[in-house]
Chain A
């Protein structure tokens, strides 16, 4: 007869796993997380933007995390959510690309194939109740065909002309739906992305003002140096919000 909680109550065990381990053997919560990510298809390829911050709970712990990485010759992978899981996914993809290169058959994995692989990966992990806690964005160009898709942590995957993860889903998607069109030039696409990132900067508490934009076209990947967005705080009403109403906050 046990009084109070026994050790068993603190251990989350996966059926069939080694019993008697002290800590959880599956992902319960994310720890170091990246926030929103926005991507769109433009005339020449794909443009992805993310900020370079990673939060540890409510602390902005890391401010130089690259959340967008190239995969193989034709694709870009961006992730929001748990950073360690993102790094794990990059290792899996590294292995995938390596094996593909070893075939040496002149063919290389394009964005569609990588997207498919990621969907299977995420869905299978979710079925084992041990998800990789990320929302992934996969974009690329192969043989002139532009591709942009998204995979969520539970394995929901789809292909779209513009995607946004995390808070971007609520704040950036309405803007993209209204203002995206097929023939955006590079400058217009960057302006649109900046508009979305600026709104995220204003309204997402875990956003950092250090934006990384990466472009992928038929020629290859271009990593732009990180920069900050200009913000506007000069509203007259912000100067003295309670003018005329003494005692109000």
Chain B
């Protein structure tokens, strides 16, 4: 019987081996690098013929806006789109991953993807990582069973709703939905309501801002209205332009010869003392 440890195959999920060392470093004052969060308002609602998803376009890194016009509505399948709030890397990676899994599944089955498939793939992945993958998603799409709208929380729980909001601006957007939503909205009314909800998030929440993106999904057809509304235009631009001098200015012309370098040769014994 050997006393050596059997070499175990690496398990899936995160490895928390460095946590202790990170804690120790944090106590000594070393700050970990901050990550880009989307600090967002994302909404979805079900209207007469399908689903409308909306999102703002601001990405923040702490107090700074790092991307004024990012895309938060991600493609999952020709009939399914997903808005993401939370850590930008997590939402992008998770939606990309599930999108490719759906594509492979489509090749395998030869059928249009169902929204529940995307939902199950996403929630299984997120639950597996116990909330460490910080992606809060609003998933919407139309398949042969009808229009569906779901919210997925970072820990893996899901909700099936007629109207949903997520992100830091979710309360501002929810207040608009709660007061104005009704069933059986037409396409234009739905777009108007979604735009209003996102604008409410943009103007009342600091983590959301810039423009409104909208995606309308109906049976067999989708419309991605990128920058549907631009309520924050850059209004002042100087008419004279910003002239910069074409070359560096010459301030002074004076030639100073450098002094000649003199070599000192010491007597050989000096180093030994």
A residues contacting B by CB (< 8 A) are 167, 170-175, 177-178, 195, 198-199, 202-203, 235-238, 241-245, 248-249
The answer to whether B203 touches A177, judged by C-beta atoms less than 8 angstroms apart, is: yes
The answer to whether A198 touches B179, judged by C-beta atoms less than 8 angstroms apart, is: yes
The answer to whether A174 touches B178, judged by C-beta atoms less than 8 angstroms apart, is: no
User: Considering the complex of A and B, which 3 residue pairs feature the smallest CB-CB distances, nearest first?
Assistant: A244-B145, A170-B171, A237-B162
The answer to whether A236 touches B183, judged by C-beta atoms less than 8 angstroms apart, is: yes
The answer to whether A199 touches B175, judged by C-beta atoms less than 8 angstroms apart, is: yes
A237-B174 contact given A177-B203, A245-B160, A248-B160, CB 8 Å threshold: no
Query: Whole-angstrom distance from the CB of B198 to the nearest CB of chain A?
Result: 11
- Which residues 167-216 of B have a CB within 8 angstroms of A? 171-172, 174-176, 178-179, 183, 200, 203-204
* Alpha-carbon separation in the docked complex, A244 to B148 (Å): 9
- Which residues 14-42 of B have a CB within 8 angstroms of A? none
A-B contact pairs, 27 of them (CB 8 A): A167-B171, A170-B204, A171-B172, A171-B174, A171-B175, A174-B172, A174-B204, A175-B175, A177-B203, A178-B200, A195-B179, A198-B178, A199-B174, A199-B179, A203-B174, A237-B160, A237-B161, A237-B162, A237-B183, A244-B145, A244-B146, A245-B115, A245-B145, A248-B116, A248-B158, A249-B158, A249-B160
Query: Whole-angstrom distance from the CB of A233 to the nearest CB of chain B?
Result: 12
Chain A residues lying within 8 Å of B116, measured Cβ to Cβ, are 245, 248
Q: Is B46 an interface residue (CB 8 A)?
A: yes
A237-B179 contact given A171-B174, A173-B204, CB 8 Å threshold: no
Chain B residues lying within 8 Å of A202, measured Cβ to Cβ, are 178
Chain B residues lying within 8 Å of A175, measured Cβ to Cβ, are 175-176, 179
Query: Whole-angstrom distance from the CB of A53 to the nearest CB of chain B?
Result: 19
Chain B residues lying within 8 Å of A245, measured Cβ to Cβ, are 115-116, 145, 148, 160
Query: Whole-angstrom distance from the CB of B142 to the nearest CB of chain A?
Result: 11
* Alpha-carbon separation in the docked complex, A198 to B174 (Å): 12
* Alpha-carbon separation in the docked complex, A246 to B83 (Å): 24
Chain B residues lying within 8 Å of A195, measured Cβ to Cβ, are 179
* Alpha-carbon separation in the docked complex, A236 to B263 (Å): 96
* Alpha-carbon separation in the docked complex, A243 to B162 (Å): 12
Q: Say which size band chain B's interface belongs to.
A: 20 to 34
Closest chain B residue to A236, Cβ basis = B183
- 9 further A-B contacts with Cβ under 8 Å, apart from A177-B204, A178-B200, A249-B160, are A171-B171, A171-B174, A174-B176, A175-B175, A198-B179, A203-B178, A242-B160, A245-B115, A245-B145
The answer to whether B178 touches A235, judged by C-beta atoms less than 8 angstroms apart, is: no
Chain A residues lying within 8 Å of B172, measured Cβ to Cβ, are 170-171, 173-174
* Alpha-carbon separation in the docked complex, A170 to B201 (Å): 10
Chain A residues lying within 8 Å of B148, measured Cβ to Cβ, are 244-245
Chain B residues lying within 8 Å of A248, measured Cβ to Cβ, are 116, 119, 158, 160
* Alpha-carbon separation in the docked complex, A203 to B181 (Å): 15
Chain B residues lying within 8 Å of A170, measured Cβ to Cβ, are 171-172, 175, 204
Query: Whole-angstrom distance from the CB of B52 to the nearest CB of chain A?
Result: 15
* Alpha-carbon separation in the docked complex, A198 to B175 (Å): 10
Query: Whole-angstrom distance from the CB of A12 to the nearest CB of chain B?
Result: 25
* Alpha-carbon separation in the docked complex, A203 to B174 (Å): 9
Chain B residues lying within 8 Å of A173, measured Cβ to Cβ, are 172, 204
